[in-house]
Amino acid sequence: MENAHAVTARRDVFLDERGAGLRVTWHPERDLVVLSVWQDDGCVGTFRMSVQDVPRLSGLLAAVLDDRADHAGADPDRGDPDEGRSR
């Protein structure tokens, strides 16, 4: 199964290795991006992000790609990225 697939021009879904989904939906009428976490067929949490915060999130994601390119060939840490965090 693909990690991500486009649903519409204003929505995308990303799946992780556990099968959990992250749906990102743009609501231009409210200047809002909604991030929702899905398990099976149910939404288990949402976060409403103001469009003004999207550049900051995009900057972080771009930095991840730059950092990954800088460390190409290094063995990635396969530990649980959520270890020690409350759920």
* Per-domain boundaries in the chain: 4-70
Q: Which pLDDT does position 74 carry in this prediction?
A: 65
Q: Which pLDDT does position 77 carry in this prediction?
A: 65
What single-letter DSSP state applies at residue 62? H
The model's pTM is 0.69
Q: Which pLDDT does position 8 carry in this prediction?
A: 61
* Distance, first Cα to last Cα, the chain: 26
65's tokens:
């790609």
CA distance 37 to 46: 6
Q: Would the pLDDT of 1 be above 70?
A: no
